[in-house]
Amino acid sequence: MQRYFVNQSADETRFTIAGDDYHHIARVMRMKEGDQIICVTPLNKSAVCAIAEITDEQVITEVVQWISGTSELPIEVTIVSGLPKGDKLEWIIQKGTELGAFQFIPFISARSVVKWDEKKAEKKLERWQKIAKEAAEQSHRTILPKVKSPINIKSLIKISEDFDYKLIAFEEEAKQGEASVLSKILAEMEKGQTLLFVFGPEGGLTEQEVSSLREHGFCSCGLGPRILRTETAPLYALSAVSYHFELME
């Protein structure tokens, strides 16, 4: 059953869908009145809805049944990725959304080869958010992850004050065989808490960046004995979180 994120309805009995989702329902899927879809509200609630009417600009649905339960990770994981080359960030956003990430923040690191172009910023953010939305619908999420504008290390340190736990994936730790920090942090965390996880670009984080983050409460950790690519490391971390909080349960 197709899933769509909708705006809040006043009485939570009817939802109106317009824009790209309207086009997808009416033109791509060629749905008709009576067909059912799943609508997800901004309050992270899901409902099976029947299409009541399809006009030239919108689809009107009526709630058939509210769905209980959730597919979300028990903790909120924000992925901070050093700006990588090519379409690697799109891959991280898509797969990271499927694996349960709560939010994505690109990071302008000292070793980021890609330079952030403010003139193209709006279109880039729109594309990234669209990728997150489509991945959230495909993976039956009830939360639509936000994709933020890229930030520098000063801004990263500032926003880190709002998180319960803060980790840095640092390849030097992996080289030295460190394998306990991540598991220790996950064991300490309780459901509902927040985790900020920082990953470097292709060249990794510099010693100075790691030192600055450590001075502000970050812990560095390895991700197993192998050195992972910048687009692989966040997915490893999210999988570890899922294993600890979901499969171990």
Whether 177 and 117 map to the same domain: the answer is yes
Based on the structure, what is the number of domains in the chain? 2
Model pLDDT, residue 224: 85
**Same structural domain, 63 and 82:** no
Quick one: 141 and 59 in the same domain?
A: no
User: 131 with 201, same domain?
Assistant: yes
Query: Do residues 129 and 96 both lie within one domain?
Result: yes
| Total-model pTM | 0.91
Q: What is the mean pLDDT of residues 81-91?
A: 94
Per-residue confidence band for 10, with pLDDT thresholds at 50, 70 and 90: low
**pLDDT of 184 over the 90 cut:** yes
Shared domain for 84 and 205, answered yes or no, is yes
- Does residue 228 carry a pLDDT above 70? yes
Distance (Å, whole) CA 171 – CA 163: 23
- 80 plus 60 within the same structural domain: no
* Domain range enclosing 45: 3-67
Residue 63 scores a pLDDT above 60: yes
The answer to whether 48 and 65 have CB atoms below 8 angstroms apart is yes
CATH number of the structural domain spanning residue 224 = 3.40.1280.10
What digits encode the pLDDT tens for the residues 112-125?
Answer: 988 887 888 889 99
Instruction: Compute the C-alpha angle 13/137/52, nearest 5°.
Output: 30
Mean pLDDT of the chain: 93
Domain CATH code at residue 28: 2.40.240.20
**Could you give the C-alpha distances from 134 to 77, 90, 93, 94, 210, in angstroms and in order?**
19, 12, 11, 8, 34
> Does the structure show a pLDDT above 60 at 202?
yes
| Dihedral angle computed from the Cα positions of residues 139, 143, 145 and 146, in that order, rounded to the nearest 10 degrees | 150
How far apart (Å, rounded) are the C-alpha atoms in residues 130 and 138? Answer: 12
CA distances to 21, 128, 182, 206 from 240, in Å: 33, 24, 9, 25
Boundary-marking domain end, from 67, 100, 117: 67
Based on the domain organization, do 218 and 235 belong to the same domain? yes
pLDDT band at 170 (very low <50, low <70, confident <90, very high): confident
Of 47, 67, 87, the residue that ends a domain is 67
Domain end residue (candidates: 13, 34, 67): 67
